[in-house]
Amino acid sequence: MARYLLRRLAFLAVSLALACVVLFVLLRMLPGDPANALTAVGASPEQIAAARRSIGSDRPLPEQFVHWFGQLASGDLGTSFVSSLPVGPEVGARLNVTVPLTLAAFVLAVLVAVPAGFTAAYKRHTWYGALLSGVSQLGIAIPVFWLGMILIAVFALNAGWLPSGGFPQDGWADPAEAFRALVLPVVTIALVMSASLIRYVRSATLDVLGSDYLRTARALGSSFGRAMWRHGLRNASVPVISILGIELASTLLGAVVVESVYALPGLGSLLATGIAQHDYPVIQGVLFVSTLAVLVIGFVADLVQRIIDPRLRGRLSGGAR
């Protein structure tokens, strides 16, 4: 167990380091000069050169990378070129919106997708089983921003039940208002996510329903529910867990779209602002935190898979992969 964890943690650290290199290089390949955000239109070459010196963009790229990587190692995400404020506290403040939004949508999607996917598989020959499969296929094709605008029109503009966007200035100081502001964004993400999850749960359930071990358990006298609980649930959950990790990570990364639709002050809007202003520290800070979250989610999903699956459990001791 300890050897496996150490090996996976080392792989996580190497992956994060490589991601930092790729992020730094690709960001510098984009057109535009960050110094332009600090100077007025028609600034002289001397003013632009002075702005570059002030933010360090005139230094060689290896020197810039070593400086940034050293900041990351000390837990510092840098200072914004535009606002001159530390990026770390700003990212932390935005996480207060993005993390609850992502987790709530993920939990709601799982609560919808698991029973719906099982029903779609177990009752696949009935009209409502076929309906669930068809609805999931349709849901995958619906763009999340279009669904968000439909929900705003129906529940905010016409019915007036929920706000159409924004977030309380005091954040979670007023939990009721913060919760109301996140209802529509959470439902928007959850509906789109659950559509794809239903397909995966249905596929995993069909594999279990047609398996030899389930038929053997039934032949030995176990009821369907008992056989599914003792033998089917664990086997069906293994492939679904990896998909859940991917869906959670993609939801976190894709929050920029939903946050833009609902004008939420989360990581997505911060990233969009940083890109528009060529604010490298802000962009790097947001993408670094997002990349770290994705890698950690993948690590946890991989660990849970090996704990659940008897065929992989032995590898926790550090055996050959």
Q: Which pLDDT belongs to residue 320?
A: 43
Q: At residue 254, what is the residue type?
A: G
DSSP string, 69-129: HHHHHTT---B-TTT--BHHHHHHHHHHHHHHHHHHHHHHHHHHHHHHHHHHHHTTTSHHH
Q: Which pLDDT belongs to residue 309?
A: 67
Looking at the structure of the chain, the number of domains it has is 2
> Which whole number is the average pLDDT over 307-314?
63
Query: Are the C-beta atoms of residues 118 and 130 closer than 8 Å to each other?
Result: no
Q: Tell me: the pLDDT tens digits for 279-302?
A: 888 988 998 998 898 888 888 888
**Which residue range(s) make up the domain with 231?**
87-317
Q: Tell me: the pLDDT tens digits for 239-284?
A: 778 788 888 887 777 777 888 888 888 888 888 888 888 888 898 8
Q: At what angle do helices 267-276 and 87-122 cross, to 10 degrees?
A: 130
115 token code pair: 């029973």
Query: Are the C-beta atoms of residues 231 and 214 closer than 8 Å to each other?
Result: yes
In angstroms, how far is the first alpha carbon of the chain from the final one?
13
307 token code pair: 């704990």
Same domain, yes or no, for 165 and 28?
A: no
What is the rounded CA–CA span in Å between residue 187 and residue 105? Answer: 7
Mean pLDDT (the chain, rounded): 82
Same domain, yes or no, for 67 and 146?
A: no
What percent of the chain lies above the pLDDT cut of 90?
7
Band of pLDDT at residue 313, cut at 50, 70 and 90:
low
Same domain, yes or no, for 65 and 120?
A: no
Last residue of a domain, one of 73, 101, 119: 73
Q: Has residue 42 been placed in a domain?
A: yes
Same domain, yes or no, for 92 and 49?
A: no
**Looking at 148-152, 162-166, 217-221, which range is the least confident one?**
217-221
Last residue of a domain, one of 10, 42, 73: 73
Same domain, yes or no, for 18 and 47?
A: yes
What is the rounded CA–CA span in Å between residue 169 and residue 273? Answer: 18
More confident residue, 318 or 151: 151
Q: Has residue 78 been placed in a domain?
A: no
Q: Has residue 155 been placed in a domain?
A: yes
Last residue of a domain, one of 24, 41, 73: 73
Q: Which pLDDT belongs to residue 321?
A: 42
